Amino acid sequence: MIKTHGYYSNTSDLIERHSELVKKIAYHLLARLPASVLVDDLVQSGMIGLLEAARNFDGNKGASFETFAGIRIRGAMLDEMRRGDWVPRSVHKNSRTIASAIADVEKRTGRNAKEAEVAEQLCVTLAEYQQMLHDVNCAKLVAYEDIPGAEDLFGTGSVNHDATFNEVSENQFSNKLVAMIKQLPEREALVLSLYYDEELNLKEIGLVLDVSESRVSQIHSQALHRLKAKAKAQAA
């Protein structure tokens, strides 16, 4: 038995009532993963996260089980994807190269780098740069703690991955992250908000912005790499 409030009385009850949460998170992640990743694999790892959450949840600490479980479920899925090592080395390299190019351009110009400027810095065409962004976004899962220099810049406090960008401003990490997000170009900040706060997938965001799903993927990827560049510059 676990400590809970109200009608939740045991582990199996919690799991049964929140199995749909696992599917919801799985499909949300699937929207930005390669076609080779199966939703059943995400659900399987997510159910393990849900089981661990049910076993460790203590309702006396104030947090809702759904919030607590959501963090564990998402974390279990991401851990499984990372253990699988399905991301090509070239994608990892491109991710680092893009962030570095953005940082170089913004240091030189003193403003947000334009796509054409980053492409020129990388010595590739605009179309090639946009394809790099799309490939990285479809293959690399970027969490807040993956941002270079995050530990030095934001501190070592725990991060609530289910918090919205407004809610997350309650702690030191998030205050600085939100400040950097406000420095992003308007469309990039909007895409991050729709994806993480509103939990829309890339196709749905495309409908909102009246652009293709592929274009949303590029914008999302560039926003994350711009954040990485800004964090690295501030931590330097």
SS (H, E, C) 134-192: HHHHHHCCCCHHHCCCHHHHHCCCCCCCCCCCCHHHHCHHHHHHHHHHHCCCHHHHHHH
- Average predicted confidence (pLDDT) for the chain: 75
Per-residue pLDDT, 105: 95
CATH topology of domain 89-235: Butyryl-CoA Dehydrogenase, subunit A; domain 3 (1.20.140)
Q: What are 159's two structure tokens? A: 């991060």
Question: What is the C-alpha to C-alpha distance for residues 60 and 39, in angstroms, rounded to an integer?
Answer: 34
pLDDT tens digits, one per residue of 13-60: 778 888 899 998 888 877 666 666 788 888 998 999 999 888 887 777
What is the Cα–Cα distance from 143 to 71, expressed in whole angstroms? Answer: 12
Mean pLDDT of 197-212: 86
What CATH number should be reported for the domain whose range is 11-84?
1.10.1740.10
pLDDT at 170 over 50: no
Q: What are phi and psi of 59, to 5 degrees?
A: -65, -15
Point out the least confidently predicted range of 9-13, 36-40, 92-96, 143-147. Answer: 143-147
Q: Where in the chain is the domain with CATH 1.20.140?
A: 89-235
In the chain, CATH 1.10.1740.10 sits at 11-84
Asked if residue 144 lies in contact with residue 177, where contact means CB atoms within 8 angstroms, the answer is yes
State the pLDDT confidence band at 116, using cuts at 50, 70 and 90. very high
Contact 234, 149 (CB under 8 A): yes
Q: Tell me if residue 125 falls in helix, strand or coil.
A: coil
